[in-house]
Chains A and B, each alone.
Chain A
Amino acid sequence: MTALKPGVNGQGLSATLPDHVRYSIEGVSKVYAGRQVLQIDRMDIRRGEILALVGPSGAGKSTLLRMLNFLEPPSAGRIRYGDFEYGPNGEAPLATRRQVTTVSQRPVLLNRAVQANVHFGLHLRGQRKAARQVDAALQQVGLAHLARQQARTLSGGEAQRVALARAMVLQPAVLLLDEPTANLDPYNVGLIEQIVRTLNREQGMTLVLVTHNIFQAHRLAHRVGFMLDGRLVEVADTQTFFEAPVDPRTAAFVRGDMVY
């Protein structure tokens, strides 16, 4: 299915999104080398929410995040963000792209000092001096003492936290987190979860969190979406998702006896 269903957005095709909707995903699919890996008919991401995405490996979670960050356009359908429509071959204006950033699944740091890495996004925006923000962000992730260390000498968990600090200093409208606590010890998992809550509460930041840890989804998210084989099986308020899921596959996944 490549075309949009007429009913989905027959009216108001060019109307701006309602205020509480951050993204509207409409008939979006992604094809790599002839293989369709993602197909979402309809999904909204609300402004100021923490949305967790769960689902087995290969479900298309990271692929969806790349599209939400406007790094790869959908093969069909469109993603609406404010007045901007991201469709096939689309390219987001720089100002739009700069409202969103991703902490990727595998942290990719530049071969520079830690503080230069955290400064990087601000530097791209022409802010040459930002020592205070950089220090504050490193402080928050508990790495102030490593500011001068070379990024390539960091441990996996340290690198992951530097990647988070690097995204945080930008104060984006939307922060996309792809398994941000995968390499962390329990203490640091707690630290990062607290940061996520604070960013959401105090800055009203919209967060999309991909996680394999359904307990983490339960602890943090307002809503949870379950993805399977490139499809969004179900998205619901956290309580409903865990206590009364509609789809039997979601129920099986939540119970932990999903076979994949």
Chain B
Amino acid sequence: MFSTLIGVPVGAALGLTRFMGRKLLVAFMYTGMGFPPVVIGLFVYLMLSRSGPLGQLNSPLIPALFTPGAMIIAQTIIAFPLVAGFTMAAVMSVDPQLRQQVQSLGATTWQTAWTVITEARIGVIVAVIAGFGGIISEVGAVMLVGGNIEGRTRVLTTAIVLETRKGNFELAIALGLILLGITFVINALMLRLQGKAIDT
């Protein structure tokens, strides 16, 4: 969710503009896209732990380790480069002459940006699906940062790991099917959106 909210605008901005340091940012983003999520989990763990730089601040704005807040932070960091990277690629693949044509028809800067994003809508939806796929299949980082605490930070993936370890294969399989089902439904919804995007 958060990655979409941040990732789509950042990706679009990177695709639409040229500024100093853009190349560096893009390089970081590509690195992030291929980054092992566990390492990101470790990083967030170290940052948030009581003795870590952010944990020490004791600020109410910064979630403690082993809370849903901490998991959201880790997931956001994992999905953000995916969403931003794919969005950027989609925006950049739009005909470069389209921007001038849209401006020529009287678009403001914002209207131009928005039009280019809507022209790239199919790719932007792919970006969101990719980010979502990255998040929902994530185990390692979530386990590290969330702690897999029952009723609080246990999610489907971590529950599957736990139940399998305990030998409760039936429960694990059932959970796996639920996870598959959820993924399928959400992707199907996205695809419908995409289909609509193609038709209109």
Contact = CB atoms under 8 A, between A and B. Distances in A.
Whether chain B is bound by chain A comes out as yes
Interface of A: 66, 69, 71, 94, 97-98, 100-102, 104, 106, 108, 110-113, 116, 120-121, 124-125, 166-167, 170
A124 B97 contact: no
B107 A113 contact: no
B200 A101 contact: no
Contacts of A120: 102, 105
Given A66-B100, A104-B97, A110 B106 contact: no
26 contacts: A66-B100, A71-B100, A94-B108, A97-B103, A97-B106, A101-B104, A104-B100, A104-B101, A104-B104, A108-B95, A108-B98, A108-B101, A110-B98, A110-B115, A110-B119, A111-B119, A113-B200, A116-B200, A120-B102, A120-B105, A121-B105, A124-B105, A124-B107, A125-B106, A166-B105, A170-B106
B118 to A, nearest CB: 8
Interface residues of B, number: 16
B104 A124 contact: no
A182 B3 CA distance: 46
A102 B106 contact: no
Could you tell me the dominant secondary structure of chain A's interface residues? mixed
Nearest to B119: A111
Interface of B: 95, 97-98, 100-108, 111, 115, 119, 200
Contacts of A100: 104
A104 to B, nearest CB: 6
Given A97-B106, A124-B106, A124-B111, A112 B101 contact: no
Contacts of A98: 106
Given A110-B98, A125-B106, A170-B105, 14 more contacts: A66-B100, A71-B103, A97-B103, A97-B106, A101-B106, A102-B101, A106-B97, A108-B98, A110-B119, A116-B200, A120-B102, A121-B106, A124-B105, A124-B107
Contacts of B98: 108, 110
Contact of B105 (A101, A106, A112, A113): A101
Nearest to A163: B101
Contacts of A104: 97, 100-101, 104
Contacts of A102: 101, 104
Instruction: Across the A-B interface, give the 3 residue pairs with the lowest CB-CB distance, nearest first.
Output: A121-B105, A98-B106, A108-B101
A69 B100 CA distance: 10
**Residue with the greatest number of chain A CB neighbours at <10 A, chosen from B102, B104, B107:** B104
Nearest to B97: A108
Contacts of A113: 200
Nearest to B98: A108
B101 to A, nearest CB: 4
Contacts of B107: 124
Nearest to A166: B105
**Residue with the greatest number of chain B CB neighbours at <10 A, chosen from A97, A108, A113:** A108
A102 B119 CA distance: 20
A124 B97 CA distance: 18
A69 B104 contact: yes
**Residue with the greatest number of chain A CB neighbours at <10 A, chosen from B98, B103, B105, B115:** B105
Nearest to A71: B100
